[in-house]
Amino acid sequence: MSRVGQAGFSSAAPGSTVWRNTRPVTVGLIGAGVMGADHARLLSGSVSGARLGGVCDVDETRARRVVEATGARVLPDPFALIADDDIDAVLVASSDPTHEAYVLAAIAVGKPVLCEKPLAPTVDGCQRIIDAETAYGSRLVTVGFMRRYDPGYVELKQALDDGVIGAPLVLHCVHRNPANSPGQPSAAVITNSAVHELDVSRWLLGEEIVEATVHTPRPAAAAGGTADPQLLVLRTASGALVDIEVFVNAGYGYEVRCELVGESGTVELGMPSPTVQRRAGVIARPLAMDWRPRFAEAYRRELQDWVDSVRLAAPAAFSPAATAWDGFAATYLAQACVRALETGAPVTIDLPSRPKLYEP
């Protein structure tokens, strides 16, 4: 019997709103860095039906700072946290190379796990997670591609699905960060940043990417040798095109833009700020300096949906949550784009077929 069943989170029909468990879901957090601290704050104040039960980080002082005022325990060992009887579900926000081991450990004890992107940095690592989840027999893994919960992206997808702009032809994406770590490998511009657009393209368009080319202008002086910006051009199975300008040393702020061009109209994300400032001779809209304020509502909705799905022991009806298969696909596409960057030539992408467990 699954740990979910043992904990009292018994199966419910998808779409049912009857909570099978009235006590809050006790979440164990691995990783108390920038994203872990943000998740802890949301779990403690903005998400209903959950409590933070334990936190583990390689830096114990950082973990202590995060649990202050929450009543949660600091656990020294991530695997002990995963196995702990008090922990119902696991949130992985540690460094990318550690994700696979923690997700596999959560599957081994039958606990739901929300893993920050990437699911694993390598395709083989993602495949091992798919194999473990398939052997377990039901889905436990969610990948933190939070843009699927952003109100703007959700409305954009709704417009497409409602037929408001006709069949999609071109998706234009822009993804800019003010600055990144000096010496960042050129591949990381794709695997760490553009990977969001790779996921969002599949999710929005509801089809797979079959070819990728990556173009690079002369690198920006601020990029310190990294190939930045990059222009990714993708072709989908039905023949639509996706272009992604990713520029992680853009200097001026954090900005994400997206416009979908259809046969009879276009739809694009609105301005991120609801206010307009007039001052010192300019009309301006405030811009965030990193992704947390820009996607604050998306992170909140993502966590709430995950907690609700744990309480229901089933995904909520119409949940946009990314599965382990979506995590696999994102890493697979990112690696293909890295090959396209390195060779300068188009790369054909033949994503393996979706295992039965992940069929809609």
Angle at 144 between CA 191 and CA 343, to 5 degrees: 15
Residue closer to ligand ISE by CB (options 291, 332) is 291
Residue closer to ligand ISE by CB (options 53, 178) is 178
192 binds ligand ISE, rule: CB under 6 A:
yes
If you write DSSP's letter for every residue of 113-166 in order, what string do you get?
EEEESPS-SSHHHHHHHHHHHHHHTS--EEEE-GGGG-HHHHHHHHHHHTTTT-
Size of residue set near ligand ISE by CB under 6 A = 6
193 binds ligand ISE, rule: CB under 6 A:
yes
Torsion of CA 148, 150, 156, 158, to 10 degrees: 70
Residue closer to ligand ISE by CB (options 26, 142) is 142
196 binds ligand ISE, rule: CB under 6 A:
yes
Smallest gap from Cβ 236 to ligand ISE, in A, equals 23
* Strand bridging mode 230-236 / 209-215: antiparallel
3-state SS, residue 181: coil
Please count the other Cβ atoms lying within 10 Å of the Cβ belonging to residue 246.
25
184 binds ligand ISE, rule: CB under 6 A:
no
Smallest gap from Cβ 192 to ligand ISE, in A, equals 5
Contact 205, 171 (CB under 8 A): yes
Residue closer to ligand ISE by CB (options 192, 309) is 192
- The residue nearest ligand ISE at its CB is 193
Residues 245-264 that bind ligand ISE (CB under 6 A): 248
Instruction: List the x/- string, 216-245, binding to ligand ISE by CB under 6 A.
Output: ------------------------------
Ramachandran category for residue 355: left, alpha or beta (phi over 0 → left; psi -120 to 50 → alpha): beta
Spell out the residues 6+ positions from residue 158 whose beta carbon is closer than 8 angstroms to its own.
none
111 binds ligand ISE, rule: CB under 6 A:
no
Contact 330, 119 (CB under 8 A): yes
- Range in contact with ligand ISE (rule: CB under 6 A) among 67-75, 191-199, 234-242, 318-326: 191-199
Residue closer to ligand ISE by CB (options 234, 246) is 246
Smallest gap from Cβ 291 to ligand ISE, in A, equals 4
209 binds ligand ISE, rule: CB under 6 A:
no
Beta bridge partners of 55: 29, 74
Residue of 9, 145, 203, 291 that binds ligand ISE (CB under 6 A): 291
Separation CA 207–CA 360 (nearest Å): 13
Smallest gap from Cβ 222 to ligand ISE, in A, equals 15
Separation CA 73–CA 70 (nearest Å): 9
94 binds ligand ISE, rule: CB under 6 A:
no
Interface residues toward ligand ISE, by CB under 6 A: 177, 192-193, 196, 248, 291
